[in-house]
Structure 1
Amino acid sequence: MIDRNTSDHHIVEFDLTADEARRRTEVVAALGDTWDPLAVLEGEADAYRLLYSNLDAEQQATYDMLVSAGVLPASGQA
């Protein structure tokens, strides 16, 4: 922490680099050795495809409108 006094103001700076590195290390450790990020991404893609499959005409039109507006990613880009 750096505290610089300038007249009536105090500028305080924190370097969180070490804390962020520690936090990331703890997250990866908590996930364990069996965590497979590729499998997780594939599972999310499968869930996305399932969520937007078998839509009726009105639902499909709404989905297409949301994709064209950029609210949802196009099919295959999830």
Structure 2
Amino acid sequence: MDQGSAPDHLNFTIDLTLEEARRRAEVVAALGPDWDPVAALRSEEEAHALLYSGLDAEQEQVYRRLVAAGVLPGREPGDAASH
């Protein structure tokens, strides 16, 4: 084969849609039938509130600056930095 006619690269594509659907189904199956997403979210919100409770004045000021900068989510629903 003449090297002058060899392609520089080979186009290769793969569709991972089916694999991603399988992976997600396995994750949900692993969570089990007793997993309650609403309770999990509620627990996460309670833990977040507890984490930032009891801050002194200086810590509260730093916390508010980090929320304003979008580094941390706020304390109220809809206050998330991604909104």
Higher-RCO chain (CA-CA 8 Å, sequence separation at least 6): 1
Look up the match of 2:34: 34
In the alignment, the residues of structure 2 paired with residue 8 and residue 57 of structure 1 have an alpha-carbon distance, to the nearest angstrom, of: 63
Look up the match of 1:11: 11
Amino acid at match of 2:9: H
In the alignment, the residues of structure 2 paired with residue 60 and residue 9 of structure 1 have an alpha-carbon distance, to the nearest angstrom, of: 56
Q: What is the SS of the residue equivalent to 2:26?
A: helix
Identity of matched residues, %: 58
List, as ranges, runs of 4+ consecutive aligned residues in structure 1 with deviation greater than 3 Å: none
Alignment gaps of 5+ in structure 2: 1-5
Look up the match of 1:59: 59
- Higher share in strand: 1
Larger radius of gyration: 2
Look up the match of 2:3: none
The count of corresponding residues between Structure 1 and Structure 2 is 73
Q: Normalising to structure 2: TM-score of the pair?
A: 0.81
Deviation at 1:73, TM superposition (A): 1.5
Task: Say what the alpha-carbon RMSD is for the aligned residues.
Answer: 1.4
